Structure 1
Amino acid sequence: MTTATLERPAATTLSFDQIQAFLYAEARALDDRDWDTWLTFYHKDCPFWMPTWDDEDKLTEDPANEMSLMYYPNKQGIEDRVFRIKTDRSSATSLPEPRTNHNLSNIEVTGREGTKITLRFNWHTLSYRYGDTDQHWGTSFYTIDTASGRPLITDKKVVLKNDRIHHVIDVYHI
């Protein structure tokens, strides 16, 4: 599915198949390292948040005042991260970039209100680099809005379930 395929007239709702295709297309953009396409999935005001566990069973609740594994208050932060990945201007950038494979499951629509759809899904990502395969898994919570005529992620929260990791985690790992 190309970005053009995702464009459609403004609608107040998407079918489950369209939601699933949207999520798969976002994951594919990450696996293909198609950063410019990946950025088109996000609304300009979309926060991207991965809270941390403050103990074994409680997540942090406030990204402004508590520790997070990752937090970008809007798309500009996400764009900055992509710029650093593309230009190798980050100590966290892995060279060569890992090869990833995102697998999504248990996609649930948890709410619909006007043009906004809230959902949650589980994911498992395999990452290969220097002969080693790592895996990360968790649950994501998205709000998607179709008011602009195409679905856009307006809120993204990612809960990493295996947070005891031996290297820096990046956007392509989740």
Structure 2
Amino acid sequence: MTTATLDRPTAKTVSFDDIQAFLFAEARALDDRDWDHWLSFYHKDCPFWMPAWDDEDLLTEDPLNEMSLMYYPDRAGIEDRVFRIKTDRSSATSLPEPRTGHNISNIEITGRNGSQIEVRFNWLTLSYRYGATDQHWGTSFYTLDVSGDRPLITSKKVVLKNDHIHHVIDVYHV
């Protein structure tokens, strides 16, 4: 693990360990089905996008004009999804909620611009529901704002690598 630190605009610094702990805490909130805590990781303007693979095995590039597996333009969309999960008001019925285990690896800080940190990491999620275990894996790209008391996700792009899925995929699978 690197011991380098990332400067904030204030006198505080954010270390690689801080970023890693933040990512682990977000994953834990999903595994614990702690939806309100999970939402607290997101900035109000954060887009959440999972592009689809096209017929040429390339990722779509425009969530407004091309197919996406999931797209919420800001936190309000994510909040709506959580509301539907919590109240069973979903066309993609999520009850019983699956038990999940998120595993994160290969965390890289790929860029920095002031208080904005670019992060890339791989993930594997195992989920159990109705006596069956599924697995999903991929790579995520986050932009984190580290100017406040704790980081906030200001942009989230999730690339699902095993996109041949046999049921609805939801926020807790990734």
Which bracket does the TM-score occupy, shorter chain normalised? over 0.9
Which letter maps to 1:42? Answer: Y
SS at match of 1:109: strand
1:102 is aligned to: 102
Which has the bigger relative contact order, CA under 8 A and spacing at least 6? 1
2:30 is aligned to: 30
1:162 is aligned to: 162
SS at match of 2:25: helix
Give the drift of 1:12: 6.6
Give the drift of 1:140: 0.1
What does 1:3-152 align with in structure 2 at a 5 Å threshold? 13-152=13-152
Count, aligned residues: 166
Unmatched runs of 5 consecutive residues or more in structure 2: 1-8
Distance 1:39 1:134 in 2: 24
Give the drift of 1:148: 2.8
Range that drifts further, 80-89 or 92-101: 92-101
- TM-score, reference length from structure 1: 0.92
- Superposed CA deviations along residues 31-61 of structure 1, whole A, max 9, x for unmatched, are 0000000000000000000000012530000
Give the drift of 1:159: 0.2
Range that drifts further, 143-152 or 39-48: 143-152
Distance 2:33 2:93 in 1: 13
SS at match of 2:86: helix
> Structure 1 residues 65 and 80 mapped into 2: Cα distance closer, same or farther (>3 Å)?
same
- TM-score, reference length from structure 2: 0.92
Which letter maps to 2:166? Answer: H
> Structure 1 residues 12 and 70 mapped into 2: Cα distance closer, same or farther (>3 Å)?
farther
Which letter maps to 1:40? Answer: S
Which letter maps to 1:70? Answer: M
Which letter maps to 2:26? Answer: E
Which letter maps to 2:108? Answer: E
Query: Percent of aligned positions with the same letter in both sequences?
Result: 81
- Superposed CA deviations along residues 92-140 of structure 1, whole A, max 9, x for unmatched, are 1321100000000000000011101001000000000011000000000
> Which ranges of 4 or more aligned residues in structure 1 deviate by more than 2 Å?
9-13
Unmatched runs of 5 consecutive residues or more in structure 1: 1-8
